[in-house]
Structure 1
Amino acid sequence: MPQLTSGHEITLLRNGEQFFPALISAIDASVDEVRLETYIFHFDRSGESVAHALVCAAQRGARVYLVMDGIGSPPVPPQWVQTFAQAGVSWQCFSPLGRLGLLVPVRWRRLHRKLCVVDGRVAFCGGINILDDRWDMHQGALESPRLDFAVQVKGPLVREIHQAMLQFWTRLQATKAIEHLAFEQARQTLKQGKVAVLPDAAAHKHDMGLRAAFLVRDNVRNRTRIERAYCKAIADAREEVLIANAYFLPGRKLRHALMHAAQRGVSVRLLLQGRYESFLQFHAYRPVYGKLLAAGVEIFEYKLGFLHAKVAVIDREWATVGSSNLDPLSLLLAREANVVVESRPFASQLRTELLHELQTHASPLVAQTHAQRPWTQRCLDHLAFAAVRCFLFLTENRY
């Protein structure tokens, strides 16, 4: 289980409206280094503002490193390729599809985490992509901003986040060197990435008892850290479990943890995506709702706009904010990152935000209504669910 440590200052950021000004302000104040990872980097108004801040940082002499996912991000516009090159911004596209696309199973492993570290003094982690709140890659312009969260982190935890990003960058560089048969260069690159050269981040004196941990999920040592953290916190819950998650298809262990919590009298409420985004997203998740509802779990579907949050609050003290959905893609294949916070003030703030959305912009899912949905919809649900099971079989993962 994650070791929670003290001495951190963690600020909750809601939506791009709060996230982008904080991120750009930190980059604008950079002196030595900026590292940014994201699933989607879209060169819309918000994306260009971040890109401009990165370019200015590089022109001032800061080292700037950017990684974006090869599926999530559209191609970088040619003018920005040139601008990055002229400014000295180092950027990579993680695992481009190539000619065979998703027919190659290794391509299913995506970079889904959203992280940034500036000068080793401030970090960002959450679910917010470099994408305008009112724009969707598939739906176009949105009437309402998507609901999402991130955190700004100061203190010792920044060093852990920086180390994870440094290791990932050096592995990408080493992989590129190996592809070009530069084995000695690859060995030296990996060696350089083992130790982050950073000043010790000072602990904040007024953290009011806040403790935190940084969790990553990858396909090497940290395959189940985020899922196990959820299961442990839910198993320990005494009063309340409140989860908001965009793509929710939990595995057996997590489903049982939620059902057992509800059956022992814990209030378990889930705020889930209520709008159609894709066939699998809308249909594959619904077959698991029946058992959860029967066990006493309350499910609410968000209706105002698109839900993109991946957060939770348990017993008004334990909270997590990050990039990890509770579905097979996030918990079995993608690179994810969450921050876990143990703090009543922080948890209460996030809980207030979630309860407001749940009570004003969501509709409860009634067990009887769910069971009596049209047979055509039930057929589509089970067809989509079977497709996910087939996908899991191909990946040779138990879930």
Structure 2
Amino acid sequence: MIRKSSTTFKAPRSSRWVAGNQFELLENGEEFFPRVFNAIASAQQEVMLETFIVFEDEVGQQLHAALLAAARRGVEVHVLVDGFGSPDLSAGFVGSLVEEGVRFRIFDPGRRFLGQRLNPLRRMHRKIVVVDGELGFIGGINYSADHMADFGPEAKQDYAVAVRGPIVTQMRHFTREAVLGRPGRRQQHRQPQAPCQADAGSLPHAQAADAMFVTRDNHQHPSDIERHYRVALRSARHRAVIANAYFFPGYRFIREMRRAARRGVDVRLILQGRPDMPIARKAASMLYDHLLRAGVRIYEYCDRPLHGKVALVDDQWATVGSSNLDPLSLSLNLEANVIIRDRHFNAHLYRRLAHLIESSCREIEATPPGRFDGIRLLRGYVLFHLMRWFPAWAGWLPRHEPQIAVVGQTAPRASAESASGSDDASASA
């Protein structure tokens, strides 16, 4: 049985730095999946998981087994998947979880017409796990075998982080409300959440990193992630490195990159050279001349598809998360990034990206000066205005009210249908 609730998400967020966190960079499925599965296997109280994609391949089956075992131990397990990204989960895969007490929800499940999914816009694109309110994971890695190197030439290059410290409390609050789909409208009337020993800001300081948990939605926080990127670029003094799978940001973002390069900042952009979606490379390449002529250095990663969404500026600022730098992520999808202020993490991420550039990338050269190309000139003019006005145009795209489908009969009384007076937790349209 699937029950649906239509809600508007208004989760509280902080724009202030939270001190005393520890971050560990996890590169690709080889590092990410064992850490997540072991964390779930060690869970004592609660597992909150939301993701864009779960496939029923070897990785999806390992996730399934870990969640099933946790639920059988009495751990409270909540899962939220996107209906567009995970459209083909079998009744057996989901049903066996639900039978053991897993609260399984689908964000905006869509019907198909002639085999085609009709709800591609405004997706739940976040990838977050929080275990016992103490350990969090966030990044760009989905639960599918194509994040493992042995998948072959189409295996994805990607990143996530393991997180400990007070910022995990914010991640836990946000994710719990999102997966529960609570329908209340005002924070001051929120119902108490389920207890968690490490909750309520009680987490000790783990290390020295400051952090912010930043999300993007279609209601109160439509441009938060992009804004933090632009502020960082504006303050850059000597270097900025951005590695992103799908790159076609707005005019203001491009302007900050060009201004940084022109004042002497070493701005480097790592994009897909072997894209999983050819249109992604084509769109990004249309911006190359505009960026190269300002001094931005562009590299294409050629070993396999790049799926990462990471960046660093100078010696402290860095970000890891689910947000691409394209119109879908910046103007339509629901995303989550963590922003980190820590020299050690920044230095480690820089070493990994520098290794990527040196070992697996080719640098793009600018078109020779003086060559007149009328088509390129026209294309640049059109792109300039497209990027400048796209955020406003995005509001005219379909704004259906996304629903959360509750699978099965095991949802607790505090579920979307029976909880009252609490914050919303599905995404706003």
TM tier, shorter chain?
0.7 to 0.9
CA displacement at 1:280 relative to structure 2 = 2.9
> Structure 1's 384 and 279: CA in aligned 2 closer, same or farther, altered over 3 A?
farther
Q: Structure 1 residue 395: deviation in Å?
A: 3.9
Aligned positions of 1:248-259 closer than 5 A = 248-259=247-258
Give 1:103 deviation, angstroms.
Answer: 5.8
Residue identity (%): 36
Instruction: Supply the distance in 2 between the matched residues of 1:375 and 1:76 (Cα, whole angstroms).
Output: 49
Question: Does residue 43 of structure 1 match 2:56?
Answer: yes
Amino acid aligned to 1:313 = L
Q: Equivalent residues in 2 for 1:367-382 (5 A)?
A: 367-368=366-367
Matching residue's letter, 1:122: L
In the TM superposition, what is the alpha-carbon distance from 1:394 to its structure 2 partner?
6.1
**TM-score normalised by structure 2 residue count:** 0.79
Unaligned runs of 5+ in 2: 1-13, 398-429
Which residue number in structure 2 is paired with residue 177 of structure 1? none
Residues of 1 paired with 2:87 and 2:163: CA distance? 29
SS of aligned partner of 2:145: coil
Equivalence for 2:6: none
Q: Does 1:148 align with 2:149?
A: no
* Rounded Cα–Cα distance in structure 2 between residues aligned with 1:28 and 1:149: 22
Q: For residue 339 of structure 1, give the secondary structure of its aligned residue in structure 2.
A: strand
* Matched length: 378
Alignment of 1:161-240 (within 5 A): 161-171=171-181, 174=183, 197-198=195-196, 199=199, 200-204=201-205, 207=207, 209-240=208-239
What is aligned with 1:76? 89
Match of 2:337 in 1: 338
**In structure 2, do the counterparts of structure 1 residues 134 and 118 end up closer, same or farther at CA, with 3 Å as the change threshold?**
closer
Give the Cα separation in 2 of the matches to 1:89 and 1:6.
33
For 2:47, the equivalent position in structure 1 comes to 34
Shift of 1:43: 1.5
> Residue deviations 1:250-273, cap 9 Å, x none?
101110000000000000000001
The 5 Å alignment of 1:309-348 reads 309-348=308-347
Using the TM superposition, give the Cα deviation of residue 364 of structure 1 relative to its aligned residue in structure 2, in angstroms: 0.6
Distance verdict in 2 for CA 1:196–1:260, change over 3 Å: farther
Any idea what the Cα deviations from partners look like across 1:323-376, whole Å, max 9, x if unmatched? 00011100111111111111111001011000101111011111127998x999
1:306 equivalent in structure 2 = 305
Q: More deviation in 93-102 or 234-243? A: 93-102
| Equivalent in the alignment of 1:112 | 125
Mapped pair 1:6 → 2:52: no
Matched, 1:396 2:396: yes
Counterpart of 1:203, as a letter, is: P
- Going from structure 1 to structure 2, the CA distance change for 1:187 and 1:224 (only over 3 Å counts) comes to closer
| Cα separation, 1, equivalents of 2:32 and 2:242 | 21
Which residue number corresponds to residue 181 of structure 1?
A: none
Q: Distance in 1 between matches of 2:358 and 2:108?
A: 41
Distance 1:370 1:211, change over 3 A: farther
Contact (CA 8 Å) 2:215, 2:336: kept in 1 or not? yes
**What SS does the aligned partner of 2:130 have?**
strand
- Equivalent residue number for residue 182 of structure 1: none
- 297 and 81 in structure 1: CA distance in 2 versus 1, 3 angstrom threshold: same
Verify: 1:89 aligned to 2:102, yes or no.
yes
Task: Write the letter of the residue equivalent to 1:69.
Answer: D
Change in Cα spacing, 1:142 to 1:386, as seen in structure 2 (3 Å) is farther
Within-5 A mapping of 1:258-273: 258-273=257-272
SS in 2 for 1:108: coil
Q: Relative CO higher for 1 or 2, CA cutoff 8 Å, sep ≥ 6?
A: 2
Is the Cα contact below 8 Å between 1:170 and 1:189 reproduced in 2?
A: no
CA contact (8 A) 2:83 2:106 kept: yes
Identify if the C-alpha distance between structure 1 residues 188 and 29 changes in structure 2 by more than 3 Å, giving closer, same or farther.
farther
- Counterpart of 1:333, as a letter, is L
| Larger helix fraction of residues | 1
Judged with a 3 Å threshold, the aligned counterparts in structure 2 of structure 1 residues 189 and 294 are, in CA distance, closer, same or farther, namely closer
Cα distance in 2 for partners of 1:247, 1:325 equals: 6
Query: What letter is aligned with 1:61?
Result: G
Paired with 1:371 and 1:118, the residues of 2 have a C-alpha distance of 58
Alignment-derived partner of residue 243 in structure 1: 242
SS in 1 for 2:248: coil
Q: SS of 2:247's equivalent? A: coil
Give the drift of 1:295: 0.4
Structure 2 SS opposite 1:8: strand
Q: Distance in 2 between matches of 1:5 and 1:150?
A: 19
Q: Report the AA paired with residue 78 of structure 1.
A: A
Task: Report the Cα distance in structure 1 between the residues aligned to 2:243 and 2:211, rounded to whole angstroms.
Answer: 20
Whether contact under 8 Å (1:283, 1:385) holds in the other structure is: no
Q: Which runs of 5+ in 1 are unaligned?
A: 175-185
